[in-house]
Structure 1
Amino acid sequence: MQPVYLDYNATTPVDPEVQATITQVLGETFGNPSSAHPYGQQAKAVIEQGRQQVADLIRAEVSEVVFTACASEANNLALLGAARAQQQRGRHIITSAVEHPSVSQPLQHLASEGWEVTVIPVDACGRVDPEAIRQALRPDTVLVSVMHANNEVGTIQPIEAISAITRERSVLLHVDAAQSAGKIPVEVTALGADLLSLAGHKFYAPKGIGALYIKEGTPLAPILFGAAQEQGRRTGTENVAYIAGLGRAAQRARVHLDTSAATLREKRDRLHGLLREAIPDLRLNGHPEARLPNTLNVSFPNIDGKTVLARAAQSVAASTGSACHADSKEVSGVLGAMGLTLEQARGAVRLSVGTPTTTDEIDQAAAALIRAWRHNN
C-alpha cells in the first residue's frame, strides 16, 4: 500500500480533467503562438482562454495576467521588476519574517545591490501587525511584500488592512498567493494587491507553470530579455499546453471553491481532533481560525518531528515544513519567527490535506502518527 499523502502544500496531483486538457493541446496545438499563420493563432487562442480562466479565478482583468514558469519566477519578477522600475523614487522595501525563500532571497539580492530591506516580525500565530507596516513606511519606500497564506503553518495575513495602508502612501503591494489560490477566495481588488503570484501545482495543475497578476499601470521592469511575449513582461515562447492546464485548474477551483474549502476544513479538523485526543500537550502552530482550511502544523511533545515521520513513513507521507527546506538540519525559520522554543520547533510536523484525501485515510494517518509518537512515550 502507498502511504497516505498529506503533503498537499508541497504539491498536488494533476487533476484528471486538467491532464486531459493538457494532453489534448499537446496532440492538437503545436504552433508557435507568436506566429501569424493559423497554427500559431490556434495556439494563441488557447493561451488567451487560459489567461481568461486565471483572471476569472482572481477577479482580474485578462490583460493583467502574465504567465511564468512557476510562482518562484513570478515572485522574482514582481520584486526585482518593481524595485528596479522605481529605483529613482526610492530604494526601501518592507517584507515579513515568514516569507517563502522565493521572496526572501530576491530581497536579499536587492539588499546586496544597495536596497534597504525592513523585515517585520510576526506574532505567536504567525501574523503581521498592519500597524507595524505603517510605522516602517518611509518616504523612500517603494514596495511591500507580504504573503497571503503561509506555506508551513497556513496562517492568513491581513492583506486588506495592509493594502489600505500602502494605498494611502502610494506604495506598491506584492502578495505571494501560491498557497492560498484555489483554497480560499483570492480576489485582487478586494485584497488591494498591485502584484500577486500564483503556482499551478498548488491547485492541481502541473509543476512548471505559474502566473503573475500585474495591476494596470504598475511599473515593472523585465528580468528576462529577448522577444516581446507576454506584453514584454516575460520573454520566451509560452508553454501552451501547461497554460491550458493552469486555466482548466483555475476554472475548476473557482467553481468548487466554497464546497472544497468546507470539505478540506472538515478533514483537517478531524485529523487534528484524533491527534489531540491521543497526544497530551500536542501544540497547534499557526492561527486557530485565520488559517488555510487544509493546513495543520502541530508540534509533537518530547520527540523530533522528523523522527515521527520516519517511523510513520510506510503509512504517512508528510513533511516537517516547506519542501524547499526538506534537507535542512535547521529548524523552521517560520516557527522561530513565531517564538517557538527549539524543542517545539523540532517537534513540528506539517500535515496538509487535499481534495482526494478520504476520511479513511485521515483515520489511518492519525493512527500511524500516534503509534510513532508513542514509541518513546
Structure 2
Amino acid sequence: MDRRSFLLGTSGLVVSQMLIGCNGKNQTQFNVQLLKGSIPGHVVNQFRKSLQSQASLKFVPINQIHDLFKQLQTWQQPEANKEGWRRFLPFTQSQKVSKSDLVTLGDYWLKAAIEQKLIQPLATEQIKQWSALNQKWQQLVKRDDQGNLNPQGQVWAAPYRWGNTVIIYNREKLQQFDWQPQDWDDLWRSELRSRISLLNHPREVIGLVLKKLGKSYNTENIAQISSLETELQTLNQQVKFYDSTTYLEPLITGDTWLAVGWSNDVIPVLTRYPKLSAVIPQSGTAIWADLWVQPAGVNKNNLLSEWVNFCWQPNIAKQITILTKTNTPIATNIAASDISEPLQNLLLINQELLDKSEFLLPLSAAATQKYDSLFKKMKNLG
C-alpha cells in the first residue's frame, strides 16, 4: 500500500515489551501498540514517572505498519471471522490480543482506516498541545468520514514523527564528475544511465517527475500533463531496478550509484557507510508521518491525551527526534551539535524545503488507477 508495508527493522530503538507499574485492581490500564523503534524506551519510562497516580502501562512494539493496520481490521471483525486473520499477525494463533488504547499508523493508511471505520476521532479538547501544533500537521489529520482532507473535519490522529523521500548516492562513484545530486532533475543525467534504483511505488516515482515539472505530488488529472509520459520513459532508461525493500544494498556494493528512498531507511545506512551521502531535493519532496490513532470501540482513557501531550512537549519531541533519528512536528531547539554531521541536512529543518514538500494525500479511485496504469506501462518499456 505504501512505504510502510515492509519491514522497518533499522529505524531506531526498541521499546521494551512491557513497562508496568505496581499492579492494583483499580489501576488505570493504558495499552499501546507502536511501530518498533519509533519511541525510545526511556521516554516511556519518563512518562510513567510523570503520572500523578500509578497506572499499568503496556507498550508493545510491532515490526510493520502493515501488521498494525491488519490488527485494527481484526478488532472490528465478528469473533467468528478472526481466526483466519490471526495467522497473518505477529502473534501466535492461540493468543488473544485485546484492543489497545492507542496504535501507530502511517499517514498514508489514514484514509483507509477511517473509511473502514477502524478508528475513531480524538478528543482534541483534552490535548493541551493541539492548538500549538503547526497548521500543516493539523490539516493532515482533519478528515471527513470518508478519510478525505476537510478543514472542518474531525481530528483523527496525532502525528509524532515524520521524514522525507530523499536521494542517497555513492560519493566515490560520482567524484569523477563535476556535480553532486541536488534535485530531481539530476536523475536524468546521462552519467546515471542504468545506475539508479527507484521505489516500486507509483505515487513516489510519478510524483518526483511531477515535482521536476513544477507540479504537485497530488495532481489529480495526470493525463493533462503532456510531457509526463516522455519524462517517465526517459527516467526509466536510467533505472536498474525498482524495489521498496532492498533498494539500498546495491548502492552499498556499488552496483548502483544513486537511489531514491525513505529517510528512516536511509539514515541508519548513512551512519554505517561514510561513502554515502543523502540530500532532500531542492524542488521539494514527499513527506511521510507516523501518527497515533485510537481504535474504534475503545472507551475514553485519560492517559491517551496525557501520552499525546507528553510526546508533544518540546523536550520530549527533541529526544524522540535525536534518538530515533526522525523529524518532529513540534518546534524544538535542536542544534546542529545535537545531530551527527552526515544527518544534519536531513534532520535540521529547512523551512523553505518543508514548504515545498507535500504529503501523499488521498486521490480519487480513477486518479489512483491512472497512476498505477502509467507506472506499469513505464516499467514495461524497460
> TM-score, normalising length from structure 1?
0.27
With normalisation by structure 2, the TM-score equals 0.26
